[in-house]
Structure 1
Amino acid sequence: MSEKICDHNRRAFIGTALAGSAFALAGVATARAATDVGRGRFGGEQLQVWSCGGLAEAMIPAHQLYEERSGAKITYTGAFAAALGKSLQGSATTDVFAGRVLSLAKALRESDKMDYFKPLCFTSYILVTPKGNPGGIAGIEDLAKPGVRVAMAPDSSPPGGQAATVLLEKAGIAEAVMKNVANPGTCVQRTVSEVVTGKADVMIVEKRITRMAEFSGKLESIEIPAKFFPPAPLTFTVGVMKSARNRSLADDYVAFLISLEGQAYFERMGFIPAISKEGRQLVEKLGVKDV
């Protein structure tokens, strides 16, 4: 999905998200949720959190639990990360910012707008087909075969369409695949609906798309080799801003998000938790470390 909301109701997913499978992270020691000590100690306090819109499906239910535990009230904004980041590099302020693309977090640190950041989660890309896979799609190379109906949204807000294009270029099949795209879209979510209804045979999407309420259980998924993933859009970080009004509250909230309990919400919504084995490998591979 692009960072564009595409007029979908983000709150419709909550029941589905909380009904997901149990969260298991092999080889990871259980992390204590920061708010277990001193429950309710931030009663009456306000915390302003901004994030890229793609995280909203995980953030909203996580915030519900954090508010119950801490007593704090979260004011949340999920929108296009680049626009929020640009505002924060200007005169805008928030307490915590969870952004996409590592370079944005580093830029905020280097401009002394952010005090620190932590790895939060990672995204991944898959192929989706209608239920039953009527087009017989077996792998990414099949998107280049004549007659395959490929859905794409190249004009969606970054990194939606751009990421899929870069992925195809890395696979060496971009030109051939584009010949199979009959109706290029401008919004990833609306374009995925073409796959659900059988108007298209296949589409490249982030795995998290398949966990959204409107698409859950309505698509078949096929893995894409990670070597084709475009590095820049994979990373999500969470950081405390210099402008944080209550540093102890902001620190506690970040500690909750990166705890085992907090990370479960991101796993349920199709992200790779930063504390998982795969997540720790990506932290090292992509250099997701504070400056």
Structure 2
Amino acid sequence: MDFSFADAPLDRAEHLRTDSDALARLWPDARVLVLDAKGDAGVDAQGMPPGLDGTAVGKRPASAVFLGLHDGQGWFAVPGVDAPGTLEMSATISLRDAAAQWPVREASAFAQARAVLHWRDRHRYCGACSAPLDYVRAGWLGRCTGCGIEHYPRTDPAVIVAVSDGRRLLLGRQAAWAPGRYSTLAGFVEPGETLEQTVVREVFEESAVRVTGCRYLASQPWPFPASLMLGFLADASPDTPRVNDELEDARWFEAGDIELALRDAHPHLSLSPRLSISRWLIAQWYAQQVGGPPPQQSLSPARAG
């Protein structure tokens, strides 16, 4: 996929999460990602993953999360507070920057690590009885020490939609974004709602445009902090967009504008960064319109809002 966090996944080897002996054998030679309190990862002098192994980190802390296997090697994530010295000796990098600089597998593992450690950091107590949670299954299950309820990592499903009236593409912008920055519309799935119903509701709520049909294309983990973006193409009526307090503006764009924006060559329109499924959806819509591949993008860094 031409967006981040979707390729080269680890074998999560779920069956090993309860095998303490196997995890102990994997630890000395394991790849270890160390994340600080902000969710940034330690890097070497070149800004790349430092190649820490379990031996360099020391004894495997109870907070270590088993991420999975690659070619028989274990991968773990550890909070920086439980790996003293590893972050102090190096700089750190955000997940957004790592997506553009790191190898695909390391960036995808970083996304996985950031999501589960964020969940752990913000779910320390039981929501039913307030007792502390005890984390088991190599970090993937929080068991209440009071009432025994089991808590699993939270993932929030959200739809993200390239909406077309058959000729134009609907894009919106938030007030906080850089001038000229537009993106596809998106929103969270509500309880008791299908994905298709979410597409119809969210597009209408944000733009007053009526969706008449949609089809699913692809998904992207989006750990900012814990979403799963479900990408759709949607057909809609050519309604005049009207925004509420969620968006500053929404408008239809012609294919010619989209072509220039995908090349980073439009004087007034910029799109989501290349790490996002949003830009990929826009490129898929454009390719469908012209009956060919998306235009080649420039090699300059994507503009970010």
Which TM-score band applies after superposition, normalised by the shorter structure? under 0.3
Structure that is richer in strand per residue: 2
Q: Tell me the TM-score normalised to structure 1 length.
A: 0.25
Higher helix share: 1
Structure with max Cα Rg: 2
Q: Which has the higher contact order (CA 8 A, sep 6+)?
A: 1
